Structure 1
Amino acid sequence: MGHFSTFGDTEVLKVVEGWLSEAGLPFDIAPYAGKVRLGNPDWVDPRALDAARYSHLLVVCGPFSQKMYEGMADIFAAFAHCTWIGVNLTMVAPLSTFQPFDVLLERDSDRLVRTDLSFTTPVTQVPVVGLCLATRQSEYGARRRHDEAGTLLRDLIRARGLSAVEMDTLWPPETNRTLTETADQFTALAGRLDVLLTTRLHGLVLGLKAGTPVLALDAIAGGDKVTKQAGVIGWPEVVGIDDATPEGLSDALDRCLGDEARSSAKDCATRAAKVAGALRKDVLRSLAVAPGAHHVLPLPPARRLKRRIRRLFGR
């Protein structure tokens, strides 16, 4: 039994499971909380077990206190005939006041401190991706499909077992959903990713500038600026929401994780920077152009009325 409600808990559980399996001992895993049991269909409710079938009760990882013990008194009473073993526990109270175990191999208590068992599990390297999603974009009206696009990318992350970092390009910092406050911070983070997943045009641009392959999903029906930008710079990994499928996105992710993708991203960004920089002379030349007479546009009737009201009441 145990909390098993954090990654550390589940890593320690893996260790104990492995030791019991190696010893040829059958066991069941019974988290305290029902919401935790939802995470694994093989985990069981300790209150639903036939306690008479068991000879040992192992309580594994996390804090353990008299209050917690008393809150689950019915469970522990059912297993009173078992040998109780505490493994990798933090004993909150002094052992002189509370220590219910026949064998206590604690992580820490007032008598000793042991190294946490999660140090012993192997580290498996998984791809690290950034997720940078556009929101609102009301200018696209009924063509917006941002919720669908976000769901597709999140489902891709889960289906492929990726490690993901939420990213955002909004400025000023008060509007940013993350701790990113500048473009340099964004690109610094993007450069450490394996792939950036995005529905933002500037997610595409800043990711490629950082030399990171980008899987861009255009969230606008019919395609718009994300698709156009990818096309003009020659970046192939852009998918329109109309054509997006889980299988297609997974294939695009594989290409972004390929051996040549990182160098392709750097080359694409280098070419794009040269082309974009050529606009400098056009911008400077445009400063000599005289203003036209078409700048003042008639307001729609409703807006004219609102302006008159504001003038009348000084608002």
Structure 2
Amino acid sequence: MLTQDDVRPKRVLLAGWFSFRDGEATAGDVLALHRVEEVLRAADIPYDVVWSPGFRPDARHFDDVRPGDYSHLVFVCGPLHGPQVEELHRRFAHCVRIAVGTSVIDPGSPAVTGFHRVLARDAPDSPPVEDLAAHAPTLPARPVVGVILTHGQHEYGQQRRHGQVAETVTRWLAGKDCARLELDTRLDTADWHLNATPAQTQSVLARLDLVVTDRLHGLVLGLRVGTPVLAVDPVAGGAKVSAQARACNWPALLTAERLDERGLDRWWYWCLTSGRVAARQARDAFREDAAPDSADHLVEALTDSARR
């Protein structure tokens, strides 16, 4: 008679499209994986996950895996098709192979028939079930950061440090646990990638936790809606971004010459804490017209010009 230990998986290998060398990891795939991991942990079933070396270079990859170490292979999420999935059946022929949360396009495909069992989310002639990602463990929110950088402004000539600034800022941001949103203040009525009106741009900025920018209007428009701004002046010696930060009494500014990760980290923390209040105060000051701007003198200038 078989005991529970006889039928219990010895060790499970979890794989998916996020595992292949030329595959890709999507947020939905990884959340589906988290759901499967949750189920296996609750059942006290040991498992390993195999990742694409392009996505997680330091994790376990198929090249590191010894198939004999596993009793079961579970393929998580995505469509069941193609030679990469078929190869899993050959390499892990001794394993019990199960697909879970997958889409079946052709039930007769070797990629599908190679599994001992398919727990599909959708398949021909079968009612669909909710995707695994819908039931994945809840994740804590992360800061949403708008990134507004420019590679132009050639009028500054040899003082330009835009390339170095962009490289330093984007490399630093890549290491931050945040949701990054690349934005542009340029408007375009024909290109759907860009906003067509200032109101549309403002609506995006107002929903962010932070703006990181080396543009003057990235600074001003962020503060205008009360969103903290981490500003970098990309011009050696300081130029319009530094001048505008002074005019707005906004402290979260780094110069091109003093740009480093330590300074970025310092202002990052400030912007996401005390800077939230400071940004709302800057927004309220703009709305109250508390400080004069150059347009306040325009009528006088026009009148004086007419007299000459």
Could you say which TM-score interval applies, normalised by the shorter chain? Answer: 0.7 to 0.9
Q: CA offsets, 1:21-64, max 9 Å, x none?
A: 44343333335xxxx33322222216x64323321121111000
Aligned twin of 2:90? 77
1:153 alignment counterpart? 169
Q: 1:169 to 1:276 in 2, by over 3 A?
A: farther
Count of equivalent residues: 283
- Tell me what 2:7 maps to: none
Mapping 1:233-312, distance limit 5 Å: 233-258=248-273, 260-272=274-286, 274=289, 277=292, 279-290=294-305
Deviation at residue 75 of structure 1 after TM alignment: 3.6
Paired residue type of 1:9: D
Give 2:50's aligned residue: 30
Out of 59, 71, 78, the position equivalent to 1:42 is: 59
- Counterpart residue number, 2:244: 229
Q: Which amino acid aligns with 1:284?
A: V
Match of 1:18 in 2: 38
> How far apart are the structure 1 equivalents of 2:59 and 2:297?
66
Gaps of at least 5 residues in structure 2 are 1-14, 19-24
Partners of 1:199 and 1:193 in 2: CA distance: 17
Note the alpha carbon deviations across 1:148-173, whole angstroms, 9 max, x for none: 22223223322221111111112444
Alignment counterpart, residue 86 of structure 1, candidates 83, 87, 99 = 99
Does 1:104 find its partner at 2:118? yes
| Residues 125-204 of structure 1 aligned to structure 2 (within 5 Å) | 125-173=141-189, 178-204=193-219
Q: Could you tell me which amino acid in structure 1 is paired with residue 106 of structure 2? A: A
Residues 189-247 of structure 1 deviation map (CA, whole Å, 9 limit, x = unaligned): 11111111111101111111111111111111111110011112211111111111101
RMSD: 2.6
Matches of 1:255 and 1:221, distance apart in 2: 24
Show structure 1 runs of 5+ residues with no match: 294-315
* SS in structure 1 of the partner of residue 100 of structure 2: strand
- Residues 89, 177 of structure 1: alpha-carbon distance in 2 compared, 3 angstrom cutoff: closer
- What CA distance in whole angstroms lies between the structure 1 residues aligned with 2:77 and 2:283? 48
8 Å CA contact 2:187, 2:194 repeated in 1: no
- Aligned partner of 1:138: which letter? H
SS of residue in 2 equivalent to 1:62: coil
Equivalent in the alignment of 1:124? 140
Larger radius of gyration: 1
- Percentage of matched positions with identical amino acids: 31
Q: 1:194 to 1:23 in 2, by over 3 A?
A: same
Q: Give 1:310's aligned residue.
A: none
TM-score by length of 2: 0.82
Cα distance in 2 for residues equivalent to 1:232 and 1:149: 22
